[in-house]
């Protein structure tokens, strides 16, 4: 079971990384083209700011899931460092549980908000604002996918050499 969770988490992370890199390259190209168009040709694209914001939102939420998997988000390591091994393990498990609850909430609410935004169109590109808002539940879903793998990883670390939480 552990291997299945780890493979799903790794696959989701690889997908988030690949999509994030592609979006970042596209964002750099579009914003670079906008700068050239504006300052060299004295003309600009009407849609580049909206597009850039939308892509940036997706990069942020995909990047948040990558950071969650890698344990790169800020934490209270000073306080956790003062605790015993057993307390550290309990705090890490509680953190993952509370994170899961939060991710589920974000997924549910994010889907509802995205659905509500379907009729609203962006002013320049004339596409649904739901595309931008859907980055929120997708990013939270990717983070939720990582939780079981992180729990197994935490258990292995805790069993082998003390608890240096995966979170």
CB 52 within 8 A of CB 27: yes
Lowest mean pLDDT of 12-16, 72-76, 92-96, 128-132, name the range.
72-76
Query: Strand pairing partners for 121?
Result: 128
Query: How do residues 16-39 score in pLDDT, each as one tens digit?
Result: 999 999 999 999 999 999 999 999
Three-state secondary-structure class, residue 147: helix
Residue 81 has pLDDT above 90, yes or no: no
Query: Token pair for residue 7?
Result: 């493979």
Domain map of the chain by residue range? 2-161
Q: Tell me the C-alpha distance between 49 and 53, whole Å.
A: 6
Put simply, whether the predicted model's pTM sits higher than 0.85 gets the answer no
**Structure token digits, residue 19:** 């999509």
């Amino acid at each position: 079971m552990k291997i299945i969770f780890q493979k799903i988490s790794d696959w989701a992370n690889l997908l988030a990384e690949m999509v994030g890199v592609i979006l970042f390259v596209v964002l750099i190209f579009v914003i670079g083209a906008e700068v050239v168009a504006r300052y060299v040709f004295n003309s600009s694209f009407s849609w580049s700011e909206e597009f850039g914001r939308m892509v940036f939102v997706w990069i942020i939420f995909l990047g948040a899931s990558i950071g969650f998997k890698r344990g790169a988000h800020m934490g209270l390591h000073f306080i956790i460092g003062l605790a015993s091994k057993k307390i550290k393990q309990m705090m890490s498990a509680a953190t993952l549980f509370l994170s899961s609850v939060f991710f589920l909430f974000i997924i549910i609410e994010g889907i509802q908000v995205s659905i509500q935004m379907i009729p609203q169109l962006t002013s320049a590109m004339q596409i649904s604002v739901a595309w931008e808002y859907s980055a929120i539940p997708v990013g939270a879903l990717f983070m939720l996918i990582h939780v079981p793998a992180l729990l197994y990883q935490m258990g292995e670390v805790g069993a082998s050499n003390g608890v240096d939480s995966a979170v």
